[in-house]
């Protein structure tokens, strides 16, 4: 099977010939959410080289192509171009309307007008009611696909009219000044659509097309970034042996390193985090274009990139699955930090963490430096995400990316220290203040039927206790959460919010929880714990009678203790 893949803009694709959606393809099925999301992506994205995925075709007879994959996007783009054409025509810009229309319909070799996109399943509705310049709106059967097309075209037309201000005008008429503004807006949107990028994958024949279609259909999704990067690299790196394709084997080994990771799309996520840790910040939608531009026609660059990806894949696997990796006793703090990131459900830091681990394994930084750097990032996300639930903005990810790239290029420990100082200064500027932290922290609650914050509460209390007491290591995994005022007291009229409050919670081992403290009064529990040498004062339990006020004060004590201990700069 011969596969030819290349980056192309929409205007180049629509100039190649005519595209047919055969009957074995699924009909147009995009609904409101998908159409509106696509519109927003196209209209709101301000960057260049906007990548919208792949398109798989096979050559029929020149210049005719059958579409295997990408028909939903290509059809939606055709609807958008038709809507822009209609608006140009409505304000009297006939030349501009016909300029857009050539991407919808153009003369063939016999000089007969032919639609660039032809769908067999929605014929003749799509052609007559949407694509035609003069709108030959004759009666035809309207099934589910036709209704989807009608609804999508209406959504696009409404959005377009709102964009040019037509929906707010009197009787839908624009003033002369508004028409000039509308022309500029329509031109800008037209140019954006035509410059959208696709990976254009061309197959030789229909038989190969059916095979690819069945593969894609079985997976239930389009070709993703990792599929495209694999195709790009293996195409560039030629096999040096007739019996051994070393590039293919390297890629397969890379993929295999993530075999036991159940996370969806882990390979695509790895490629993104690697790239923004070593090259430049980008988004998943633009990643393939960035990699393709970097590799260019340079086979050596492709081979070098594959080697670096293979090296980083093993480190990334450790990063996202720390429990499955063997750690020395000295490295155990790194494991705890990586587990904490999973607990906080954050990914913005991934590029920086990958870069730190890479520098550690390459012995550019010491274990102590790596542990300190990772712990400070952990503290930041505990405050920023786990407690105060700040809105994750792109600025945090770009801060990490820029410093990760610098760290990837650093040659000495001194260089790394300068980079870390810069990073932690930038993060400290983003850190929520104590007042906000305290308010959110004191809202944490846990009962047997209120478990949303259970793991974060256990994490926070574990920080308060530290790793050792009286010279003995604490196994935090074996500890459970105990309520000083027991849950059973709720049945006797005690407020559930008081019992559940984090100020009423301590950590104890399972035996103490189940046998020694179970359902006893807070006075009895505190007395029992004191007799066992439990570090009550260390964790802020300083009262013997334990009232509602004590609980609220302890919650603030714990919040302040944690916030003060989390020095980032």
Pair (559, 488) in one structural domain:
yes
Pair (39, 115) in one structural domain:
yes
User: Does some domain include residue 217?
Assistant: no
Angle value at C-alpha 344, between 339 and 348, nearest 5 degrees: 95
CA distance 133 to 131: 6
β partners of residue 8: 198
CA 533 to chain centre: 48
204/207: higher pLDDT: 204
Terminal CA-to-CA distance of the chain, rounded, Å?
A: 57
Q: Which of 503, 514, 444 is nearest to 479 (CA)?
A: 514
Pair (182, 48) in one structural domain:
yes
Number of domains observed in the structure of the chain: 3
Write down the pLDDT at residue 512. Answer: 76
Domain boundary among 160, 180, 212: 212
CA distance 352 to 423: 10
Pair (208, 85) in one structural domain:
yes
Domain boundary among 168, 183, 212: 212
Assign 485 to helix, strand or coil. Answer: coil
CA distance 200 to 184: 30
Assign 417 to helix, strand or coil. Answer: helix
Domain that includes residue 324, residue range: 225-434
CA distance 115 to 62: 15
Write down the pLDDT at residue 468. Answer: 55
Pair (298, 424) in one structural domain:
yes
Torsion over CA: 457, 463, 464, 465 (sign) = positive
What DSSP state is assigned to residue 265? T
Write down the pLDDT at residue 129. Answer: 86
Write down the pLDDT at residue 449. Answer: 92
Pair (149, 264) in one structural domain:
no
Pair (397, 259) in one structural domain:
yes
Task: Give residue-wise pLDDT tens across range 458-511.
Answer: 999 998 887 756 555 567 777 889 999 999 899 989 999 999 999 999 998 887
**Which residue has 């906080």 as its token pair?**
344
User: Does some domain include residue 94?
Assistant: yes
CA distance 487 to 250: 56
User: Does some domain include residue 338?
Assistant: yes
Domain boundary among 399, 434, 469: 434
Task: Give residue-wise pLDDT tens across range 228-248.
Answer: 788 788 878 876 555 557 887
User: Does some domain include residue 295?
Assistant: yes
Listing DSSP states for 135-149 in one string gives ---------HHHHHH
Range with lowest mean pLDDT among 102-116, 169-183, 512-526: 169-183
CB 286 within 8 A of CB 50: yes
Task: Give residue-wise pLDDT tens across range 105-118.
Answer: 999 999 999 999 98
Pair (143, 268) in one structural domain:
no
CA distance 156 to 162: 10
Listing DSSP states for 451-464 in one string gives -TTHHHHHHHHHHH
Q: Which of 103, 145, 110 is nearest to 124 (CA)?
A: 145
What DSSP state is assigned to residue 477? G
CA distance 461 to 506: 7
Please say if the pLDDT value at position 166 is more than 80: no
CA distance 80 to 75: 9
Assign 173 to helix, strand or coil. Answer: coil
CA distance 557 to 505: 13
Q: Which two tokens stand for residue 229?
A: 């990067």
**Which residue has 């990408």 as its token pair?**
70
Pair (194, 48) in one structural domain:
yes
Please say if the pLDDT value at position 198 is more than 80: yes
Pair (414, 470) in one structural domain:
no
CA distance 337 to 374: 7
Please say if the pLDDT value at position 218 is more than 60: no
User: Does some domain include residue 417?
Assistant: yes
Question: Residue 355 — pLDDT band, cuts 50, 70, 90?
Answer: very high
CA distance 447 to 452: 9
User: Does some domain include residue 254?
Assistant: yes
Write down the pLDDT at residue 326. Answer: 93
Report the number of secondary-structure helices (H) and strands (E) in the chain: 24, 12
Pair (91, 189) in one structural domain:
yes
Pair (456, 508) in one structural domain:
yes
Averaged over 506-534, what is the pLDDT? Answer: 83
Could you give the C-alpha distances from 507 to 30, 150, 402, 550, in angstroms and in order? 51, 61, 40, 17
CA distance 398 to 415: 20
CB 80 within 8 A of CB 42: yes
What DSSP state is assigned to residue 495? -
User: Does some domain include residue 162?
Assistant: yes
Write down the pLDDT at residue 354. Answer: 98
Question: Residue 347 — pLDDT band, cuts 50, 70, 90?
Answer: very high
Residues 6+ apart with CB under 8 A from 19: 57, 64, 65, 66, 67, 74, 116, 117, 118
**Which residue has 């929906």 as its token pair?**
167
CB 87 within 8 A of CB 186: yes
The CB density around residue 307, as the number of other CB atoms within 10 Å, is: 12
Range with lowest mean pLDDT among 1-5, 176-180, 322-326, 488-492: 1-5
Average pLDDT for the chain:
87
**Which residue has 């000083």 as its token pair?**
484
Alpha-carbon Rg for the chain, nearest whole angstrom, is: 30
User: Does some domain include residue 184?
Assistant: yes
**Which residue has 């509308």 as its token pair?**
182
Q: Which two tokens stand for residue 233?
A: 């690299």
β partners of residue 158: none
Q: Which of 498, 564, 496, 507 is nearest to 541 (CA)?
A: 507
Assign 263 to helix, strand or coil. Answer: coil
3-state secondary structure 26-93: CCCCCCHHHHHHHHHHHHHCCCCCCEEEEEEEEECCCCEEEEEECHHHHHHHHHHHHHHHHHHHHCCC
Write down the pLDDT at residue 138. Answer: 60
């Amino acid at each position: 099977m011969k596969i030819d893949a290349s980056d192309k803009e929409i205007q180049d694709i629509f100039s190649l010939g005519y595209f047919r959606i055969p009957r074995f393809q699924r009909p147009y099925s995009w609904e409101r959410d998908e159409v509106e999301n696509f519109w927003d992506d196209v209209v709101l994205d301000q960057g260049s080289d906007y990548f919208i995925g792949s398109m798989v075709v096979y050559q029929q007879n020149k210049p005719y192509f059958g579409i295997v994959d990408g028909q939903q996007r290509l059809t939606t783009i055709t609807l958008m171009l038709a809507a822009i054409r209609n608006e140009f025509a409505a304000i009297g810009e006939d030349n501009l309307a016909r300029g857009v229309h050539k991407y919808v319909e153009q003369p063939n070799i016999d000089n007969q007008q032919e639609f660039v996109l032809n769908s067999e399943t929605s014929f003749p509705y799509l052609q007559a009611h949407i694509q035609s310049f003069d709108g030959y709106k004759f009666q035809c059967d309207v099934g589910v696909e036709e209704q989807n097309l009608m609804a999508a075209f209406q959504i696009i037309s409404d959005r377009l009219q709102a964009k040019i201000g037509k929906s707010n005008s009197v009787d839908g008429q624009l003033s002369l000044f508004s028409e000039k503004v509308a022309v500029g807006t329509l031109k800008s949107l037209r140019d954006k659509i035509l410059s959208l990028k696709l990976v254009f994958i061309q197959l030789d024949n229909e038989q190969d097309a059916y095979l690819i279609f069945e593969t894609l259909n079985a997976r239930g999704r389009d070709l993703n970034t990792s599929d495209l990067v694999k195709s790009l690299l293996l195409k560039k790196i030629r096999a040096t042996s007739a019996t051994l394709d070393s590039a293919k084997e390297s890629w397969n080994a890379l993929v295999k390193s993530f075999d036991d990771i159940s996370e969806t799309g882990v390979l695509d996520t790895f490629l993104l985090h690697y790239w923004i840790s070593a090259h430049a910040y980008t988004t998943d939608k633009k990643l393939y274009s960035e990699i393709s531009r970097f590799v260019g026609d340079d086979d050596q660059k492709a081979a070098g990139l594959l080697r670096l990806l293979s090296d980083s894949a093993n480190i990334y696997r450790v990063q996202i699955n720390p429990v499955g990796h063997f750690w020395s006793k000295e490295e155990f703090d790194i494991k705890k930090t990586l587990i904490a990131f999973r607990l906080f459900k954050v990914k913005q830091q991934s590029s920086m963490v990958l870069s730190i681990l890479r520098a550690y394994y390459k012995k550019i930084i010491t274990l102590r430096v790596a542990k300190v750097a990772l712990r400070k990032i952990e503290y930041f996300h505990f405050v920023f995400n786990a407690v105060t639930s700040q809105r994750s903005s792109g600025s945090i990810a770009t801060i990490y990316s820029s410093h990760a790239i610098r760290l990837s290029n650093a040659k000495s420990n001194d260089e790394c220290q300068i980079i870390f100082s810069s990073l932690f200064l930038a993060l400290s500027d983003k850190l929520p203040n104590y007042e906000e932290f305290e308010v959110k922290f004191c809202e944490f609650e846990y009962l047997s039927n209120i478990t949303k914050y259970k793991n974060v509460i256990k994490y926070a209390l574990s920080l308060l206790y530290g790793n050792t007491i009286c010279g003995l290591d604490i196994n935090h995994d074996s500890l459970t959460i105990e309520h000083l005022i027991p849950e059973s007291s709720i049945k006797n009229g005690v407020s559930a919010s008081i019992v559940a409050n984090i100020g009423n919670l301590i950590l104890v081992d399972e035996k103490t929880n189940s046998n020694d403290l179970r359902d006893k009064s807070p006075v009895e529990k505190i007395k029992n714990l004191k007799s066992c040498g439990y570090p009550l004062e260390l964790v802020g339990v300083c009262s013997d009678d334990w009232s509602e006020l004590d609980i609220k004060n302890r919650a603030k004590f714990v919040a302040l203790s944690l916030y003060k201990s989390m020095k980032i700069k």
